Structure 1
Amino acid sequence: MKSWYGVLAGLVLAGGLSGCSFNNERKDIDLVEASYSAVDSIHDQLNGRVDMSRPVIVTSFVNVDDLTQSSSLGRIIGEQFASRMSQLGYRVIEMKLRDTVFIQEKNGEFMLSRKLRDISAEHQADGIVVGTYAVGKDHAYVTARVVQAVDSTLVAGHDYAIPLGPDAQSMLKQRKHRSSSAAGGGLSAAY
């Protein structure tokens, strides 16, 4: 009889432990909702600091460890930012990442690339939405900023974390896109 209780206790314990591992699986969040919430926060911060009658450029979000590289995750976040900003009344010019958005200065600071500044001047854009993401063990950490087109001055920003559930992991594993600057590529604008 004692051995029967031991077997039963072992089964209960094993079942409880397997339930614990199931509960620790990472789940995805609603990425659209997270991106829209980030844009709403940025919109509240802007409060007239960006002229809504002039275009705003939205770029793909890039890997903070390699600013020439994006992923499906970085591109879809940029697309969602463009959609939400358009819904809020901004005139959006969407930039497809084909060249470096940032350049690194000698002191380690990042500035907008000359090509992006030239395109913003050509379109008379008032602000540029740029973003980076860093991949951690359990989350991708996203930083979104709006900078003035003329001098790269930061005017608004929002940081958030995306749990690395199955969808987020899949988007990060998708074929990464590097800038084609070595092959003479550039930025292309989509209206």
Structure 2
Amino acid sequence: MRSVLMSVLVAGAAVTALSACAPEQFPDTFQTERSRPAVDVEAASYQAADQLLELSHARLNTDKPIVVTTLVDNGDLTRAAPIGRLVAEQIATRLTNAGYTVREMRFGSSLKVREGTGELVLSRDLRDISRSVGAQAIVAGTYTPGSQWVFVNAKLIHATSGDVLSAADFQLRNDGNVQSLVAMPASDSAVGTCASYSYTTAR
């Protein structure tokens, strides 16, 4: 009996020793990254719109228009893929449902790079159009495609001073749906097109 007990103890000690010597198991970061759920574009756009309103440095008037422009490619501010138009439309929808008067404008060159500083500022055309419709603020922004994510930045900008009132950033997984929205035929460009859409809620 004693010999049997000793055999059991020795076997248990051997298993414990082998377990201690085994390499520590770490989660497969690649697999973890792959298993992360894709971000819902609509939910991300709505959350960005909410953030722009909540964090605005200036009080906004629901009776004065907010101009929402198509988000443009950060690498080429004269181009806008469908993802830029889709996010702009969803932000406009969210602002409208929140009770604001919204004018959605689709035209190129809404942003430009200020010489000497590299700062993104509103184009003169956009400022002029916004002034003509009596806009109080403008939503403009960019998207930057990456290998795994598309990084989106949206800003709420004072229509007169050009000051940034608030900003929102979010990421979209560059999966099949988003890839198709980021891809754009060479003939599809934001330049040279201008359309205005007005949205108001019943009061």
TM-score between the two structures when normalised by the length of structure 1: 0.80
Q: Is the counterpart of residue 187 in structure 1 residue 194 in structure 2?
A: yes
Q: What per-residue deviation string (whole Å, max 9, x for no partner) do you get for residues 129-184 of structure 1?
A: 0010101111000001000011210001111111111100111124363233xxxx
- Tell me the distance in 1 between the aligned counterparts of 2:40 and 2:193: 32
Post-superposition offset of 1:59: 0.5
Q: Is the counterpart of residue 102 in structure 1 residue 111 in structure 2?
A: yes
* Match of residue 74 from structure 2: 64
Unmatched segments (≥5 aa) in structure 2: 1-29, 199-203
**3-state SS, counterpart of residue 157 of structure 1:** strand
Unmatched segments (≥5 aa) in structure 1: 1-19
* Match of residue 74 from structure 1: 84
Structure 2 counterpart of 1:145, which letter? K
* Match of residue 11 from structure 1: none
- Tell me the distance in 2 between the aligned counterparts of 1:189 and 1:157: 23
Which runs of structure 2 are paired with 1:19-168 in the superposition (5 Å)?
A: 24=34, 28-46=38-56, 48-97=58-107, 99-107=108-116, 108-168=118-178
**3-state SS, counterpart of residue 55 of structure 2:** helix
- Tell me the distance in 1 between the aligned counterparts of 2:162 and 2:131: 12
Task: Indicate conservation of the 8 Å contact 2:57/2:166, yes or no.
Answer: no
Structure 1 counterpart of 2:104, which letter? E
**Against the structure 1 CA distance between its residues 23 and 149, is the aligned structure 2 distance closer, same or farther, given a 3 Å change threshold?**
closer
Q: Percent identity?
A: 30
- Tell me the distance in 2 between the aligned counterparts of 1:140 and 1:175: 18
**3-state SS, counterpart of residue 24 of structure 1:** helix
Structure 2 counterpart of 1:28, which letter? A
- Tell me the distance in 2 between the aligned counterparts of 1:132 and 1:87: 23
Post-superposition offset of 1:51: 2.4
* Match of residue 12 from structure 2: none
Structure 1 counterpart of 2:172, which letter? I
- Tell me the distance in 2 between the aligned counterparts of 1:23 and 1:54: 44
**3-state SS, counterpart of residue 129 of structure 1:** strand
The count of corresponding residues between Structure 1 and Structure 2 is 167
Task: Indicate conservation of the 8 Å contact 1:28/1:168, yes or no.
Answer: no
- Tell me the distance in 1 between the aligned counterparts of 2:94 and 2:37: 24
